[in-house]
Amino acid sequence: MFVPVENASPTFKDSILIMPAVSVGNVGQLAVDLLISTLNMPCVGYIHTDCLIPMVGNHPYATSEENSSELSTNAEVYFLPEKKLAVLQIRSPTVKSKTRQFRHLILSWIKSNQFSRSILLSSSHAYQCDDRQLSGSPLRYLQTLEMKNIIGDELQKLDLKELETTPAFPGISETEQRLWIPGGGITKRFFTECSSEHIPLAVLLIFCSEGDNIPEAFTLINFLNRWLHLVETTGAVESHNWKIPCSWKLLFGSGIPPAIF
Amino acid sequence: MATFFGETVILSSRAVDEEDEEEEVEDENEEDREIKRELEKKREVHLHWNADFSRQFETSSDKTLQISELIIAVGYNASGFLSAFALSSGKWETVGNISLWNEKSRFTRETSLEHPGEPSCIFYRKDENPEVLICQCTCYVAEDQLFQWAAKERNVLGCIEKRSLKVTILSDCPVANYRSPEYISAIPVPFLKALKTRTYNENLCCSPLEQPNVVSGIPAAVLSYCQVHQIPAVLYQCYTDVVKLDSVTIETYKSTLSCSSLRKLIKPCTALSTEILKKLTEDNETQSNLYT
């Protein structure tokens, strides 16, 4: 459940919520890191739950030695009331037997706080792309009916394609079409549950493979920014608008032994 | 992904599992649900207090323990440090233990106390300082059991009055888990790193754990709980390259003696503590009988 940092809980009503799915390449989480770090968003509370594997570390967005020793947990909410923007960052996977419980926890938290719109940043295995998805932009979207009623065709106007459905039984014609997001973690079921609960939700996802997923994170967050104008864009190179957090150091291990040279 | 020979190999993601276990939920029948419930029950974490200690719950108005210092040692070296330097002086008695079952820790309440040296999770207290509780945990606690261990009502932190509580955690960790711009083998080991909650105001006995390093397991579960509930808590994690009990690793924890919670308890370098330390490490040395 949500536990505020200060004794008084912030008011999220009518704010936009952005959150990641723990998915292939951790792209959603990396994109959310960029957003929090660039906007210097303060942490306003914790999602304290047995559904996520416990994990702690020092301040992942530290800007100085003074604030580098602030403890950070596995699921925190950041909020800028002046921009009506709330961001939930999730830093560890769900406990295997509790994914459904976790989805319901987040869904009821979204409902009870009356966010105006929720956006889930996610990713899907690139090696499962079909012929239609192999060329063109690797970005796709999904939106619930409630979200469509609010934003209309804003995403299509930005040249974003809706995620294609796939046949339930490939190779057999006239079979039912289904939504399939391999490597997307809770994305598919969270989307269908939000649809059933009439929650305005948009999913932005990118096809990717495991590896150095920083470029995918930039692609995803740059698209989100073109849509929502969260961060001022200056200059031609979009990645320069974002501040890389200190927690991104040493993503591929410690220093290299000098003896190998 | 295609390999060099052209075969397609499905890669495992570091973030998500391939199989969608939720697909099976719709096909579950009552028997499947019953099996799941039985498995969940088997994996429950239970804290058992001895009879005298249990009575304290009954006499307190809100059914909580009045503890001002909780010291938790996670791992053999951290536990060895407390055995040699805290539990060796004064009359400490066992007041409780945790029983749990998982694939790596297959012990129950009955075996954990009867087989010293086996992985276990035991609580100690002494009459002269009844407000101090020590926990030594050497058993493996699975990912789905960590939150229960720390936070469930009637488990470790769930049953202690939070108002005047301070928590100190000592934990072993392999140095292979430490990230540094320097090559790991060039860093002198063992060494200590610290993490603290927002309400912990004392000076740290060593440098804080740098980004991007993170902590998991029981220390993470306890620190998360303390951070959320505004309990002052500190973790001293010892990174070591030795997996078993080792006197050098145990001695590294001596740097924590400047911490007020431990200073009150620890009697540094008595003859008894040195003897206990020697016995602990000797008992765990594997005897080579091949070439000697």
- pLDDT score of B292: 52
Token duo for residue A60: 């992942």
The residue among B22, B34, B18, B143 whose CA lies nearest residue A99 is B22
Q: Shortest Cα distance from A240 to chain B (angstroms)?
A: 22
Task: Kindly provide the residue ranges of all beta strands, DSSP E only, lying in A150-231, ordered along the sequence.
Answer: 161-162, 166-167, 177-178, 201-208
- pLDDT score of A177: 82
Beta carbons of B169 and B72 less than 8 angstroms apart: yes
Secondary structure, 3-state, B53-81: HHHHHHHCCCCCECCCEEEEEECHHHHHH
| Res B110 pLDDT > 50 | no
Pick B10 or A91 by higher pLDDT.
Answer: A91
Domains and CATH numbers, chain A: 11-248 (3.40.50.10900)
Beta carbons of A179 and A163 less than 8 angstroms apart: yes
What is the distance between the alpha carbons of residues A166 and A163, in angstroms, rounded to a whole number? Answer: 10
Interface-testing mutation among A46, A47, A53, with chain B (most B C-beta atoms within 10 A)? A53
Task: Kindly provide the residue ranges of all beta strands, DSSP E only, lying in chain B, ordered along the sequence.
Answer: 46-49, 69-74, 92-101, 106-107, 121-126, 129-137, 166-174, 191-196, 214-216, 233-240
Beta carbons of A108 and A190 less than 8 angstroms apart: no
Measured from the Cβ of residue A255, the count of other Cβ atoms closer than 10 Å reads 15
List b or e across B30-59, with b for residues whose CB sees 16 or more CB atoms inside 10 angstroms: eeeeeeeeeeeeebebebebeeebeebeee
| Res B139 pLDDT > 60 | yes
- pLDDT score of A173: 65
A124-133, B10-19, B96-105, B203-212: least confidently modelled range? B10-19
Biggest CA pair distance of chain B: 72
| Res B281 pLDDT > 50 | yes
- pLDDT score of B102: 86
Query: Using the beta-carbon criterion (under 8 Å), do B210 and A258 form an inter-chain contact?
Result: no
Q: Looking at chain A, how many residues does it have?
A: 261
Confidence bin at B289 (pLDDT 50/70/90): low
Average pLDDT over residues B280-284: 64
- pLDDT score of A235: 65
What's the N-to-C CA distance of chain B in angstroms? 50
Query: Is B211 an interface residue toward A (CB < 8 Å)?
Result: yes
Query: Is B11 an interface residue toward A (CB < 8 Å)?
Result: yes
Residue A8's identity, in one-letter code, is A
Beta carbons of A256 and A41 less than 8 angstroms apart: no
Confidence bin at B7 (pLDDT 50/70/90): low
Beta carbons of B185 and A257 less than 8 angstroms apart: yes
* pLDDT tens column, B225-238: 999 999 999 999 99
Q: Looking at chain B, how many residues does it have?
A: 292
pLDDT, tens digit only, all 261 positions of chain A: 999 998 878 999 999 999 999 999 999 999 999 999 999 999 999 999 999 999 999 999 998 877 888 999 999 999 999 999 999 999 999 998 899 999 999 999 999 999 999 999 999 999 888 888 888 899 999 999 999 999 999 999 999 999 998 877 777 666 778 888 999 999 999 999 999 999 999 999 999 999 999 999 999 999 999 999 998 877 666 667 899 999 998 888 888 877 788
Query: Is B193 an interface residue toward A (CB < 8 Å)?
Result: no
- pLDDT score of B84: 87
Tell me how far CA of residue A93 lies from CA of A37, A51, B16, B212, in angstroms: 21, 9, 8, 17
Interface-testing mutation among B8, B16, B187, B230, with chain A (most A C-beta atoms within 10 A)? B16
- pLDDT score of A193: 95
Query: Is B18 an interface residue toward A (CB < 8 Å)?
Result: yes
What is the distance between the alpha carbons of residues B218 and A98, in angstroms, rounded to a whole number? Answer: 19
| Res B2 pLDDT > 70 | no
Dihedral of alpha carbons A159, A165, A166, A172, sign: negative
Pick B274 or B256 by higher pLDDT.
Answer: B256
* pLDDT tens column, B48-90: 888 877 777 667 666 678 889 999 999 999 999 998 888 888 8
Task: Kindly give the pairing relationship between strand B129-137 and strand B121-126.
Answer: antiparallel
Q: Which residues of B touch A210 (CB under 8 A)?
A: 11, 13-14
The alpha carbon of A42 is separated from its chain's Cα centroid by a whole number of angstroms, namely: 18
